[in-house]
Structure 1
Amino acid sequence: MTAELTRGQNHPLPGARLEIRVSAGTTIVAGATLGDENGEVHGVEWVAHPGTPTLPGLEVSRQAAAEHRLAVDLEAVPDVVHRVSVLLALPVGGAGPARFGAVAAPFVAVTGLDGGEVASYTITGLEAESAVVALELYRRQGAWKVRAVGQGYAGGLAELLTDQNLPQAHQLAGSIQEAVAGGLARSVPAPPAPGARTADGDRSWTAAAPAHGPDHGAAAPHGTTGPVPPASPYDPQGGSDPHTPGAPGQHGARQPYPGGPGGSGTAGQPSEPDGSGPIDYSHPRRRNAAPPPPPPSAPPPTPGQPTRPVAGDATGWSMEERLYNQVWGMFEDLARTTAAYRSAVDFADSRMEKELDQVLSDPRNRIGGQGDAARGAARARHAQLVSQAQEVLDRDVAQLAAEAEVVEPALPAACASWDSPVWHTYRVPMEIPMALRLGDLHLPESPRISIPLLARLPLERGLWIDSGRSTSLDGSFTDSHEVRRLGLETAVAHAARLLAVHPAGEFTVHVIDPAGSGTRGLAPLVHSGVLAAPPALGAAGAADVLTRLTQRVDLVQMALRGGAPDALPPGLDTSQQLLVVNDFPHGFDDRAVNQLRYLADEGPAVGVHLMMVADREESAGYGPLLDPLWRSLLRLTPVADDHLADPWVGHAWTYEPPLVPPGSQVLQQVLAQVAEARRSCQR
């Protein structure tokens, strides 16, 4: 089970021998430092870099590249070492960009020897920084964990190493850049097979990577999300993570359409202010996945016409995975083409302003026909540039809209909207799906295209349905009571979908409603009989549910850490657990709040997930105590809102919650089947 980390989050490591994989949108230098209990680096011999790539228990790449694999053996590092920090830096003096803000967000993943991904992190929010501490492996009470750091340094490697108290920071930073300067023009060979010798004679002991689809993010959207990915903004996460392979702008076996992302469009081509050229908005995680599937059975395109879209044309081992990757590919493509359009319009605006300033700088042009002609010519050139950019955007959006028309009907129930026909033929599944739909995303330039916001299962982050006061996108105010009602209705729809996509008996839902204010909204769950018990009321009821779930987390953690996952107490419910909390913080004392935070932090790793329907302002009385809780949850809204951003270019995506159509009985019909399957398992 992969953990998609956000900045500051940590995750336990299952073993000592690991591989750290780095993907970036440009050539970078990768290295690592060894630190003591205080994180201090005592000398240059504690730094692994291209000039000195090997230290005890650690080996890094010998040259700069867009992708890196770092080998780590935590059992071989000296006992005095308590921290291994992974460093990324842009080469100095090359033809590439001078800041991380000009390229796609770097992606870092920790994998085991079998290639299975343990944890991943997409480093977002970088701007002027040219060096960054991506993540760190640290020793805590005899066990190792990984933490997502993402600390950037505008002063480059010298400033980064100085921050780690290395006395020779500036000299070492210079020698590292000198060591990679000679290798920038060399091509990077493909990663060697497990056990094969590399060109320099070293043996690679790390297994090859398995196929990974995009993870959410995505807040992404997540989001990543994934979001996207993917991820997901979702991560949507991933987060991918949103992330399939192929050349920039292509996802998997998809063909780039003319002028579209990855195609030959010209919008957005003006160089960035720092001279680094057009930004490649493709997400690096979309470059490592399964082999491409057989060519889809679609008629060949007419010469000169865009490729006819086909559902499932991305890479993946199954149709479900191919559709999942295709959705996040569409998400990324829409982000890229919109970014190109906005860049072209900004360029046209700045060019017109410059031309008008030049005209007005000459007093002779401020009045008379000559000045009017110059101003008219500047505005005409501006209109022409904007028109060209709009033409390319319209073409790209039309192709994506055609793709959405064939992908949406092909989505399985877990990823389909509530009005999809697949729900009318619903049957309780036998296997857990890859992902779950959390809503839809679209951009103001293309409102007719909605991209499903998909999150990988099991959920790595809890959900926060914001029931606070809301202002709709058109500026109208939404009544607070109406938002609360919609918030609980949205939470019920999410909980029902989670129940519906899991096999019978493998997902359990608990509800805490201290004030009993959600009786009407919770009726579909209560009346269908899918809940483990009636909603807990009052402070005593909330304390009872929280105590039982925290004890379950403790027991499973102890069993896993002791290497005896089968030694759990008889009768312990080992299914995935979801706790729905309504109207927080009413009915919660300090002890209950701490238990809630514990479940949010430690629960997802052992199958306990949290969904809160809450107004953050109402919990302001707790002060900063609850800030980590809100940050650990993926915020969703019960009304349309533009609070989610993708991890690549930072677009503000409009999020639409996945509400059941008014008057539809699909929710009741699905829950009735889930309840019947649950009763059959208990007989």
Structure 2
Amino acid sequence: MTAELVRGQNHPLPVTRVEIRVSAGRPVIAGATLNDAEGRTRDAGWVAHPAAPNLPGLEVSRQAAAVHRLAVDLGALPEEAHRVNVLLALPEGEGGPSGFGALAAPFLAVTDLVGGEIATYTVTGLESESAVVALELYRREHAWKVRAVGQGYAGGLAAMLGDQDLPDARLLADAINEAVAEGTARSVARPPERNGRREDGRREDGRRGDRDDAASAPASSAPGGPIDYRHPRRKAEPPPPRRESDPSQPRPQSHPGPIRAVQSPSGGPRSPQPQSAQPQPSPAPQSQPQQAPQPVAGDAPGWSAEERLYNQVWGMFEDLARTVAAYRSAVDFADSRRDRELEKVLDDPRTRFGQGADAARTTAMERYTQLAEKAQAVLDRDVEQLTAESEVVEPALPPAFARWDNPVWQAYQPPAEQPMALRVGDLSLPECPELRIPMLVRLPLDRGLWIDSGRESGGEGPAFADPDELRRLAAQTATALAARIMAVHPAGDFSLHVIDPAGSAATALAPLVESGALREPPAVGAEGVARVLERLTRRVDLVQMAVRSGATDALPDDLDVSDQLLVVHDFPHGFDDRAVTQLRYLADEGPSVGVSLMMVADRQEASGYGPVLDPLWRSLLRLSPVPDDHLADPWVGHSWTYEPPLAPYGSQVVPQVLRRIVAARQSDGR
């Protein structure tokens, strides 16, 4: 059954060789880019476009046209390629509409080699955009999926290529448009369609016709033997068994699919096979659809196990964001369709009452139920797969990525080097609250943390009647995060400072003080605040000057050059104007030289300082001591429920970890 995708929805690909058909209302440019695991296009050699239509595993049209057929062999792509973006753009300098909004919505279909549609997508919602990333084929768990993207760019090809971090995107965009305009990228015209088909692939009666034989696609004649479609570093799929006595089974052909130029093991392009004058039907052997592969921890690109797990967690995060976006879009569509059908019944006095009206209402509700149930089934399938992956990944996480209740903390020893990231909590969505995605932030902390000890007006999270309880939870969250940050650094290579002007966080800070992890007591009063801030601003100044002048060896011997974390409780109590200025300076300049900031504050209480603190608040990552839905993902902008990384009630894991840090520090004589 064909999957009709909406924006953000994905669907598994049962085969690795596919064809992507494009139908547009006027001639458009069609191309494709390869992306690595970070979503970047390395260089122009990873872009297939009319001026350079062939890449290993990719072939696109040589000219702008209203109808395109793009061939993709996922098994022949470079191993570093993890995504294929299908691009559409309006040619420049040919007049006509300046954006896709003035055209009929482009239609794309992903088919197998015998024309069976796997997924379709109509790119709607475009206006002034003259370029669009329509589809994305991406690799997950050794399998490939297709996702409807529909991301438009008013800046055209240059903006779209630049968004994929392509160097010299403007130059490549100009070269593509010039090639299309001058006709240097045009190929031989397609032969006339047969069997009553028009150029757009539809029959004269308007119905979509069957796919033409793959071998009938135009190809330039050149000497050479049959094309080898096998990836040089991968095993070829064995063909399905065939019985000679079965006339329904096709005989093997030398031309298995539409990709006619792939890279040889030596790096050069292989010679295309001469096209037969009388092409015969030759459907390629296909692998049968398989069940979703069993999830494996660390099954993501990366140089180390830590990096692979980090990338896998972010892949799960993105998949869940887009899956829920597709579900919400499908439900919204079902709602709007039901409302339109019901309004149509009510608007016509002849159908407003009687059996006909009841039947129309029943039909509208049945259609709504069918669409909603289909959307729910797809969501349940994807959530089930992600839940299974989470159950495998969570126990395998290293301490920096693990929850406090993970057994890995019981065998904790201070690391030899700083990890690449840190877990600062969990994220979930209301459609699947039981599925929690680790919230990982990169180290060192380029952005400080703000633990919200108050409730802003208009906040959507749960409101606490007792502000003292919220402050207590905020202080506990800050202590748990400070202990976690200290635990992931090598013993002796990290220093912690705490400012608690009124001493109100003494109970929450007890694990840090009693274990000896905090080298000196928390600073209290105005004098203590001024002393700590003066010391840290001096360190930032000296290190910055030494780095800029290349004289790091000239730093004073008494200067602590290890990474630092400053935890500030109950801001702005105990802070004068000079202290506020120093705090802003540390937030802006400290991360570049290893000084990070964590604030526990109620923004409403700090409103007396006026807009002077607005840049400080914007520079910090706001976290909540209670579950709260204030964080948004970078892909579709969902509001995610954040849950702080507190240890289980009654657990002694945090004091135990802190004692081991102190013991390791003492054994090193630091």
Residue 130 of structure 1 corresponds to which residue in structure 2? 154
In the alignment, is residue 492 of structure 1 matched against residue 516 of structure 2?
no
Q: CA deviation at 1:131?
A: 4.1
Residue 511 of structure 1 corresponds to which residue in structure 2? 498
Q: Structure 1 residues 616 and 319 mapped into 2: Cα distance closer, same or farther (>3 Å)?
A: same
Query: In structure 2, what is the Cα distance between the partners aligned to 1:537 and 1:666?
Result: 28
Residue 585 of structure 2 corresponds to which residue in structure 1? 598
1:652 to 627, 636, 639: 639
Query: In structure 2, what is the Cα distance between the partners aligned to 1:507 and 1:481?
Result: 31
Query: In structure 2, what is the Cα distance between the partners aligned to 1:625 and 1:417?
Result: 37
Query: In structure 2, what is the Cα distance between the partners aligned to 1:356 and 1:531?
Result: 67
Residue 518 of structure 2 corresponds to which residue in structure 1? 531
1:463 to 442, 449, 455: 449
2:390 to 401, 404, 407: 404
Residue 323 of structure 1 corresponds to which residue in structure 2? 309
Q: Which has the larger radius of gyration?
A: 2
Amino acid at match of 1:630: W
Root mean square deviation of aligned Cα:
3.9
Query: In structure 1, what is the Cα distance between the partners aligned to 2:582 and 2:183?
Result: 52
SS at the partner of 2:554?
coil
Q: CA deviation at 1:567?
A: 2.4
Q: CA deviation at 1:590?
A: 0.5
Conserved 8 A contact 1:642-1:652: yes
Amino acid at match of 2:576: D
Conserved 8 A contact 1:642-1:654: yes
Residue 423 of structure 1 corresponds to which residue in structure 2? 409
Conserved 8 A contact 1:466-1:635: yes
Deviations 1:9-42 (A, max 9, x none): xxxxxxxxxxxx9999999xx9xxxxxxxxxxxx
Conserved 8 A contact 2:461-2:628: no
Deviations 1:413-432 (A, max 9, x none): 01000000000111111111
Deviations 1:599-619 (A, max 9, x none): 000000100000000000001
Conserved 8 A contact 1:468-1:483: yes
Residue 449 of structure 1 corresponds to which residue in structure 2? 435
- Identify which range, 467-476 or 313-322, moves more after superposition: 467-476
2:573 to 571, 576, 586: 586
SS at the partner of 1:363?
coil
Q: Structure 1 residues 595 and 406 mapped into 2: Cα distance closer, same or farther (>3 Å)?
A: same
Deviations 1:170-191 (A, max 9, x none): xxxx99997586499979xxxx
Deviations 1:599-648 (A, max 9, x none): 00000010000000000000101100000000000000000000000011
Q: CA deviation at 1:571?
A: 2.3
Residue 543 of structure 1 corresponds to which residue in structure 2? 530
Conserved 8 A contact 1:512-1:535: yes
Q: CA deviation at 1:352?
A: 1.1
Conserved 8 A contact 2:99-2:130: no
SS at the partner of 1:468?
coil
Residue 286 of structure 1 corresponds to which residue in structure 2? none
Give unmatched runs, 5+ long, in structure 1.
1-20, 31-62, 65-88, 106-125, 136-149, 151-173, 188-252, 254-300
Query: In structure 2, what is the Cα distance between the partners aligned to 1:453 and 1:356?
Result: 43
Query: In structure 2, what is the Cα distance between the partners aligned to 1:101 and 1:459?
Result: 38
Query: In structure 1, what is the Cα distance between the partners aligned to 2:184 and 2:493?
Result: 54
Q: CA deviation at 1:519?
A: 1.1
Residue 656 of structure 2 corresponds to which residue in structure 1? 669
In the alignment, is residue 641 of structure 1 matched against residue 628 of structure 2?
yes
In the alignment, is residue 335 of structure 1 matched against residue 359 of structure 2?
no
Q: CA deviation at 1:578?
A: 0.3
Residue 349 of structure 1 corresponds to which residue in structure 2? 335
Query: In structure 2, what is the Cα distance between the partners aligned to 1:396 and 1:183?
Result: 47
Conserved 8 A contact 1:24-1:104: no
Conserved 8 A contact 2:462-2:628: no
Query: In structure 2, what is the Cα distance between the partners aligned to 1:446 and 1:103?
Result: 31
Q: CA deviation at 1:474?
A: 7.6
Please report the TM-score for the alignment, with normalisation by the length of structure 2.
Answer: 0.60
Amino acid at match of 2:512: L
Residue 434 of structure 1 corresponds to which residue in structure 2? 420
Residue 575 of structure 1 corresponds to which residue in structure 2? 562
Query: In structure 1, what is the Cα distance between the partners aligned to 2:289 and 2:176?
Result: 48
Q: CA deviation at 1:306?
A: 1.4
Amino acid at match of 1:604: P
Conserved 8 A contact 2:131-2:153: no
Query: In structure 2, what is the Cα distance between the partners aligned to 1:553 and 1:363?
Result: 77
SS at the partner of 2:604?
helix
Residue 4 of structure 1 corresponds to which residue in structure 2? none
Conserved 8 A contact 1:469-1:479: no
Conserved 8 A contact 2:301-2:308: yes
SS at the partner of 1:324?
helix
Query: In structure 1, what is the Cα distance between the partners aligned to 2:500 and 2:463?
Result: 30
In the alignment, is residue 366 of structure 1 matched against residue 366 of structure 2?
no
Q: CA deviation at 1:362?
A: 1.3
Q: Structure 1 residues 518 and 25 mapped into 2: Cα distance closer, same or farther (>3 Å)?
A: closer
Q: CA deviation at 1:521?
A: 1.1
Query: In structure 2, what is the Cα distance between the partners aligned to 1:26 and 1:131?
Result: 19
Conserved 8 A contact 1:518-1:582: yes
Residue 55 of structure 1 corresponds to which residue in structure 2? none
Q: Structure 1 residues 474 and 557 mapped into 2: Cα distance closer, same or farther (>3 Å)?
A: closer
Query: In structure 2, what is the Cα distance between the partners aligned to 1:633 and 1:372?
Result: 57
SS at the partner of 2:631?
strand
Q: Structure 1 residues 581 and 186 mapped into 2: Cα distance closer, same or farther (>3 Å)?
A: farther
Conserved 8 A contact 2:565-2:596: yes
Residue 108 of structure 1 corresponds to which residue in structure 2? none
Deviations 1:364-420 (A, max 9, x none): 111111011011101110110000000010011001000000000000001000000
Residue 365 of structure 2 corresponds to which residue in structure 1? 379
Conserved 8 A contact 2:453-2:474: yes
> 1:75-90, aligned counterparts within 5 Å?
none
Amino acid at match of 2:574: G
Q: CA deviation at 1:130?
A: 2.4
Q: Structure 1 residues 186 and 484 mapped into 2: Cα distance closer, same or farther (>3 Å)?
A: farther
Q: Structure 1 residues 127 and 321 mapped into 2: Cα distance closer, same or farther (>3 Å)?
A: closer
SS at the partner of 2:668?
helix
Conserved 8 A contact 1:556-1:568: yes
Conserved 8 A contact 2:564-2:595: yes
> 1:239-388, aligned counterparts within 5 Å?
304-388=290-374
Query: In structure 2, what is the Cα distance between the partners aligned to 1:417 and 1:302?
Result: 40
Q: Structure 1 residues 185 and 335 mapped into 2: Cα distance closer, same or farther (>3 Å)?
A: farther
Q: CA deviation at 1:670?
A: 0.3
Percentage of identical aligned residues: 63
Give unmatched runs, 5+ long, in structure 2.
1-34, 45-62, 65-87, 91-97, 101-105, 107-122, 135-149, 164-172, 187-233, 235-286
Query: In structure 2, what is the Cα distance between the partners aligned to 1:577 and 1:393?
Result: 44
Deviations 1:632-671 (A, max 9, x none): 0000000000000001111000000000100000011000
Q: Structure 1 residues 629 and 448 mapped into 2: Cα distance closer, same or farther (>3 Å)?
A: same
Residue 522 of structure 1 corresponds to which residue in structure 2? 509
Q: CA deviation at 1:517?
A: 1.0
Amino acid at match of 2:520: A
